[in-house]
Amino acid sequence: KQEVTQIPAALSVPEGENLVLNCSFTDSAIYNLQWFRQDPGKGLTSLLLIQSSQREQTSGRLNASLDKSSGRSTLYIAASQPGDSATYLCAVRPVSGGYNKLIFGAGTRLAVHP
Amino acid sequence: SQTIHQWPATLVQPVGSPLSLECTVEGTSNPNLYWYRQAAGRGLQLLFYSVGIGQISSEVPQNLSASRPQDRQFILSSKKLLLSDSGFYLCAWSAASNTEAFFGQGTRLTVV
């Protein structure tokens, strides 16, 4: 059974820091991994999608890497800003057990203070 | 461009009352559609998904049902709500089973 874990559960940093959010999954047989951002009381905003054949994806100050064999992904946020404060979720789409579903981690709650 | 709409944004319903949450997608055809629930302090749980009109798959047994009467419309229903049905319900779509997923803004349901 695929399980997704995100560490740390919460993170508080001063503005301007570079930071890394971690995501690990137990079964390396995945189609892709997706990172989302969720603001309080809101839906999920897709940040980056990494296909299983890819090693990383970049969008602006965000860079996500994928090491499928070790079951790990990291989301790197450069020069953090208060507007980056949100909960960040990673999700994998497994090959087996129903590829229509996304399996989510519990998220990392990020606070960037001025 | 594609957009996804969910309504209502918030809902307070008494125990035993019926429920209907609606989700529509614009700008795409034959999307895969999903209903997720996010309970307080817990991760997102897939409730239902649909790969086409009238095709519904349920992930967990529960007090809820889903229907897809039109290609881009997905409805979450209940005949009689329970307190445990309270939560944040999210609709999502993807172009195919293994492509990027996009979420709506969610419905906060409180059963009292």
Q: Which residues on chain B are in Cβ contact (under 8 Å) with A4? A: 43
User: Whole-angstrom Cα distance, residue A20 to residue A92?
Assistant: 18
DSSP-derived pairing of the beta strands B65-70 and A44-51 = unpaired
User: Whole-angstrom Cα distance, residue B50 to residue B65?
Assistant: 12
Give percent helix, percent strand, percent coil of chain A, each to the nearest 5: 5, 60, 35
**Angle, alpha carbons A85-A88-A90 (nearest 5°):** 170
B90 close to A (CB below 8 A) = yes
Q: Examine residue A94 and say whether the peptide bond preceding it is cis (omega within 30 degrees of 0).
A: no
* Chain B, nearest residue to A34 by Cα: B100
pLDDT tens track for B15-68: 999 999 999 999 999 999 999 999 877 789 999 999 999 999 988 767 899 999
Q: Which residues on chain A are in Cβ contact (under 8 Å) with B90? A: 43-44
Q: Which of A75-84, A104-113, B12-21, B90-99 is the least confident region?
A: B90-99
* Chain B, nearest residue to A102 by Cα: B46
User: Whole-angstrom Cα distance, residue B30 to residue B38?
Assistant: 25
The percent of residues above 90 in pLDDT, for chain B, comes to: 80
Q: Which of B58, B100, B108 to mutate to test the interface with A (most CBs of A within 10 A)?
A: B100
For residues A105 and A23, is the Cβ–Cβ distance under 8 A? yes
Record: contact B97-A99, CB cut-off 8 A = yes
